[in-house]
Amino acid sequence: MQAPPALLSTEDLYLFNTGQLLRAYQTFGAHLMTFDGRHGVRFVVWAPQAREVSVVGNFNGWGHGSLGFRLDPVGSTGVWCCFVPGLDEGERYKYAIVNADGHLTLKSDPHAVYSELRPHTASIVTSLDRYEWQDRQWMEHREQAPPYDRPMLIYEVHLASWRMDAPEQFRTYEQLSFELVAYVAAMGYTHIELLPLTEHPLDRSWGYQATGYYSATSRYGPPEGLQMLVDRCHQAGIGVLLDWVPGHFCKDDHGLRLFDGTPLYEDSDSRRAEKLLWGTLAFDFGKPEVCSFLLSNALFWLDKYHIDGLRVDAVASMIDLHFDKADDSKTFNRYGGSEHIEALSFLRKLNETVFQHYPNTLMMAEDSSSYPQVTAPTYLGGLGFNYKWNMGWMNDMLRYMETDPSRRPSHHSLITFSLLYAFSENYVLPLSHDEVVHGKRSLLNKMPGSYEEKFANLRLFYGYWITHPGKKLLFMGGEFGQFDEWKDYDGLDWQVLQYPLHARMNEYVKDLNAAYSRDRSLWEQDHEQAGFEWIDVNNAEQCMLIFQRTGKRSASPTVSVCNFSRQSHDIYRIGVTVPGEYRLTFNSDDERYGGNGMFLPARSSAESIPMHGKPYSIVVPVPSLSLQMWKSDTDSLSNLSL
């Protein structure tokens, strides 16, 4: 089969070879089209060092007796192309690539948008343009609504194990578009974050070791099902984030590794290419074509699936040449340092590209490093993300909460240190899947004390988390206090909801989410110092923390009272800013949430008695291991719903 020049745009190929083809998926891969009056499929693939490239499949007996339909090289671009008439949607295919040494390998299409269900690995000719979207209102509103001064409660989900009737009996995208969306909406979350959905060969990798970067995994059905899931989320007022893994890919033979017989997508220097921690290969960000591949992939998920944001995985491993490297495997940049200059350049270009096309997209860095200005604009020298996971807060808080209350006074700084840097970046406070797997125990089982105290500690922890500056993320199962750690090969332990404390925890999280969403002071100034003020930060002996959150239009702040000790206080005086009546807006010790039900008045009158540097004070009881929120009656705006 010939590849006439009219099949491809020379401009597209130039842009691809220079790292600027931002929608390479429209050029590369398998595309249904009519050419020269005949209907068929155009195949385009990048394999610059290949001796021959053919497309094989059921339509030609997988090349038996020949190499199938031969692709032609397009000039010196490294690109191969052919048009095969008569083929239609649903055809399975691979590329038969003969390398310079004459060795033949069968490769899946790097730009395929649909793949066979594992363990099969063929690509499938598919159109993504049939689905009729019903989310216009959501998309138009998103264009006008920057995320910074909005509530953000993210429910992190692994689709395979959210609900599973039996091993490997997964819910389909379509089923989840009803069950999952209804549950998330009822719980009051604003967003769902999905663990990677790019095609991957091993279930237990959770999608973080991919082979098909453009291919939504077929484990849960065809691509239209995922489009339906996102669409129904949007119709329910829920945003959708996708875990995205541009740092590394798995080594399976049908994937990107040695794609044309040479290190193509990976670095030719094995010291840089090998990710020994995960047994994967790093992308070579110095190749313009690799940058075109990845930049296009980011826009692909936003274009074709209406994804609202990308959580970029393992940024620390991308930007540090020495990350998880033994001394004999370390390499250095051209200045003698360990910063990965090409990866940093790629990340800046990634964020510039996404925000150019979708200004209010959520671009979140999962970054455990201390690299500065991750969420600063690129024109100010930053990496250009608009959010970063606060891994420091997460580690400190889990260490503190795992400590028995009797020993917490000597660890008080763990819960106060985060406010020294809370406004240096735009942070998300993650309680993610990584913290409840591989022997780390569930959040509930991390808590010290008796069975009842574990629940009290977790309710308190969630209350502090929800009132602390930063957007929020909770992994599935945490909302009802799953006791066992996450089992990725099985479903969540929904059966524990038959036990009162778990059912009450689920109700508690639902009500806490609602209290957060309707109180502007808890999110309007998440990233500004003006939105937070300590009232009492130094009471380590009693394990007490009191602070206030302020919104842009609120007449008074929300006062958060946290008691991390087992000691209750019948009378506790708290400094407040304004006079008048204060009302109790939330109490984690309420009996309906499984608390002890210590009597707390619904209101408390501020007195002209200075306390904690404030001109007024209220007196309230404080239960052990509890969180309570108080608000002045003069506040007329903060309880307005969005």
- For residue 64, pLDDT beyond 90: no
Residue 243: its H or E element: strand 239-244
Confidence (pLDDT) at 167: 85
For residue 244, what are the CA distances in angstroms to 68, 111, 176, 297?
34, 16, 20, 10
Res. 108 pLDDT band, cuts 50 70 90 = very high
For the chain, give every domain's residue range: 5-124, 529-632
| SS3 state of residue 203 | helix
Confidence (pLDDT) at 353: 98
- Average pLDDT of span 324-348: 96
- For residue 3, pLDDT beyond 60: no
- For residue 640, pLDDT beyond 60: no
**267 counts as catalytic:** no
Rounded to whole angstroms, the Cα distance separating 506 from 459 reads 10
Confidence (pLDDT) at 288: 98
- Average pLDDT of span 216-237: 97
Please identify which residue in the block is written with the tokens 């606060």: 390
- Domain 5-124 classified CATH 3.30.420.40? no
Rounded to whole angstroms, the Cα distance separating 77 from 17 reads 7
Q: Are 63 and 56 in contact (CB under 8 A)?
A: yes
Confidence (pLDDT) at 642: 39
Write the pLDDT tens digit of every residue in 129-163.
999 999 999 999 999 989 999 999 999 999 999 99
CA-based nearest residue to 426, from 392, 390, 378: 390
Mean pLDDT over the full length of the chain: 94
- For residue 638, pLDDT beyond 80: no
Rounded percentage of the chain residues whose pLDDT exceeds 90: 91
The pTM score is 0.95
Q: Do domains 5-124 and 529-632 have the same CATH topology?
A: yes
**The two three-digit tokens of residue 45, written as one number:** 């693939």
| SS3 state of residue 559 | strand
Q: What are phi and psi of 440, to 5 degrees?
A: -80, -10
CATH number, domain 529-632, options 3.20.130.10, 2.60.40.1180, 3.30.230.10, 2.30.30.140: 2.60.40.1180
Active-site hit among 109, 135, 260, 313: 313
Write the pLDDT tens digit of every residue in 378-418.
999 999 999 999 999 999 999 999 999 999 999 999 999 99
Provide the b/e sequence for 388-420 (b: ≥16 CB within 10 Å).
Answer: bbbbebbebbbebbebebeebeebbebbbebbe
Please identify which residue in the block is written with the tokens 């992190």: 156
Active-site hit among 274, 366, 367, 519: 366
Confidence (pLDDT) at 639: 43
- For residue 484, pLDDT beyond 60: yes
Please identify which residue in the block is written with the tokens 């009219």: 6
**The two three-digit tokens of residue 622, written as one number:** 């404080």
Confidence (pLDDT) at 347: 98
Rounded to whole angstroms, the Cα distance separating 397 from 405 reads 13
**174 counts as catalytic:** no
- For residue 333, pLDDT beyond 80: yes
- For residue 555, pLDDT beyond 80: no
Confidence (pLDDT) at 63: 81
